[in-house]
Homo-oligomer: A and B are copies of this chain.
Amino acid sequence: MKPRLSLLILCILLPLFSAAAQDTLKTAFKYKDARELTLLGKPATVQDSGYHRINEPQRKDVPKAVAGLATNSAGIMVQFQTNSKAIKLKWALAKFNTLWNMTPAAINGLDLYGWNGKNWQYVATARPTALQNEDLVVSNLDGQLRHYRVHLPLYAAAEQVQVGVEESATLEKAYQDFIPRKKVVIYGSSITQGASASRPGMAYPAILSRQLNLETFNLGFSGSGKMELPLADILGQMEADVYVLDCVPNPSPEQIKERAVPFIKRLRELRPNTPILMVESIFRENAHWDQEKKVTVTRQNQEFRKAFDQLKKEKFANLYYLPTKDLIGHDHEATLDGSHLTDVGFTRLADKVGKQLKKLLR
């Protein structure tokens, strides 16, 4: 099945239009494995060689769906410096995934950014076509020594990632100055994982990492961010300057009522002083129309708020709350399907969460 599937995918992805650099270069390339360069956003608790988000032995303690999604490389970044005039990316996926509400680029592809002297600036997206991929993402660069960052696939497990540069060029780890000092762990749903960003760099933890110079850790699990206690243990074992809990969309109102307080208490036991930011669910767009969904989303947020109020009553310090009100704007155009944010929504959400983080990280 597998070979036929990848061949077929290759066929159906044949471009109607081309955006990537045409690979007509005569230059020879040399490669380094991403593990030999600078990795960011991969928890230090993860010892697996893969680009996983929860360490293999811990995956038996979490729901099966979480264990599977933990192998997706969402939020993991590779940094390096080179003076090459062209950059290639090679990567292998465990499975080529397809979803009706995401682009193959976001699910299985890579995003390249370059440091322009002031900011991380978008350079190009590497086009995925099959399980094994190779793409000349940019050529005709000016040949200056520069730092680059690659965001890994959001909804697939990257097994191998290699960076290729011209044989005569340098290719080294990032300088210390290019490694963010502050760490933020974000736990949540598909929205945190990055559905429906247009490409990996537009998931909101990725936007925050660039805009606020943070090492963000994406612990978003599609449909599965439901505050089971083992997840509090996993979060608490990770170093963080702030924890963001964006885990209201998946659990039922009853589950939130039952789980939110014990989850946060457990996290607090492990990390007595780290600020925790609780984020309400975005008000789903279809809930403006579907009267039943309206009730459910409202109740989910109410139960999360009650948990916050109870913990504040119990004198919990360093606990902060971000209500749904302005999270994704008011023009109703921030989602792809009523639930999952497009780049418009992620830009707005990153702005709101970012404002809180700036205060907490002062």
Q: How far is the CA of A141 from the CA of B292 in the complex (A)?
A: 9
Residue interface mask A222-265, B partner, CB < 8 A = 1: 11000000000000000000000000000000000000000000
Find out whether the CB atom of A223 lies under 8 angstroms from the CB atom of B16.
Answer: yes
A141's partner among B18, B128, B141, B289 (CB-CB below 8 A) is: B289
Residue A300 CB within 8 A of the other chain = no
A198's partner among B114, B293, B332, B336 (CB-CB below 8 A) is: B336
Find out whether the CB atom of B286 lies under 8 angstroms from the CB atom of A123.
Answer: yes
Select from chain B the residue with minimum beta-carbon distance to A287: B140
Stretch of A27-35, A73-81, A169-177, A340-348 lying at the B interface:
A340-348
Find out whether the CB atom of A333 lies under 8 angstroms from the CB atom of B202.
Answer: yes
A333's partner among B8, B124, B343 (CB-CB below 8 A) is: B343
Residue A84 CB within 8 A of the other chain = no
With A20-B337, A125-B101, A336-B103: A138-B288 Cβ-Cβ less than 8 Å: no
Q: How far is the CA of A19 from the CA of B340 in the complex (A)?
A: 8
Residue A153 CB within 8 A of the other chain = no
Residue A327 CB within 8 A of the other chain = no
Find out whether the CB atom of B140 lies under 8 angstroms from the CB atom of A290.
Answer: yes
Task: Provide the main secondary structure of the chain A interface.
Answer: loop
Which has the most chain B C-beta neighbours within 10 Å: A5, A125, A138? A125
**B residues near A301, Cβ cutoff 8 Å:** none
Find out whether the CB atom of B195 lies under 8 angstroms from the CB atom of A198.
Answer: no
Select from chain B the residue with minimum beta-carbon distance to A65: B16
**B residues near A288, Cβ cutoff 8 Å:** 121
Find out whether the CB atom of A338 lies under 8 angstroms from the CB atom of B19.
Answer: yes
Residue A318 CB within 8 A of the other chain = no
Q: Say how far A32's CB is from chain B's closest CB, in angstroms.
A: 21
Q: How far is the CA of A311 from the CA of B97 in the complex (A)?
A: 51
Q: How far is the CA of A100 from the CA of B19 in the complex (A)?
A: 10
**B residues near A19, Cβ cutoff 8 Å:** 101, 286, 337-340
Select from chain B the residue with minimum beta-carbon distance to A13: B100
Find out whether the CB atom of B196 lies under 8 angstroms from the CB atom of A198.
Answer: yes
Residue A21 CB within 8 A of the other chain = yes
Find out whether the CB atom of B347 lies under 8 angstroms from the CB atom of A140.
Answer: no
Residue A161 CB within 8 A of the other chain = no
**B residues near A12, Cβ cutoff 8 Å:** 5, 97-98
Q: How far is the CA of A232 from the CA of B293 in the complex (A)?
A: 49
Residue interface mask A279-322, B partner, CB < 8 A = 1: 00000011011111100000000000000000000000000000
Find out whether the CB atom of B100 lies under 8 angstroms from the CB atom of A109.
Answer: yes
Select from chain B the residue with minimum beta-carbon distance to A122: B332
Find out whether the CB atom of B109 lies under 8 angstroms from the CB atom of A104.
Answer: no
Q: How far is the CA of A16 from the CA of B337 in the complex (A)?
A: 14
Find out whether the CB atom of B196 lies under 8 angstroms from the CB atom of A139.
Answer: no
Find out whether the CB atom of B141 lies under 8 angstroms from the CB atom of A291.
Answer: yes
Which has the most chain B C-beta neighbours within 10 Å: A17, A290, A347? A17
Ranked 4 nearest A-B pairs via Cβ = A19-B337, A12-B98, A198-B342, A140-B290
Which residues of A are at the interface with B, using a C-beta cutoff of 8 A? 5, 8-9, 12-13, 15-21, 97-105, 109, 114, 121-125, 127-129, 138-142, 155, 190, 195-196, 198-199, 202, 222-223, 285-286, 288-293, 332-333, 335-340, 342-344, 347
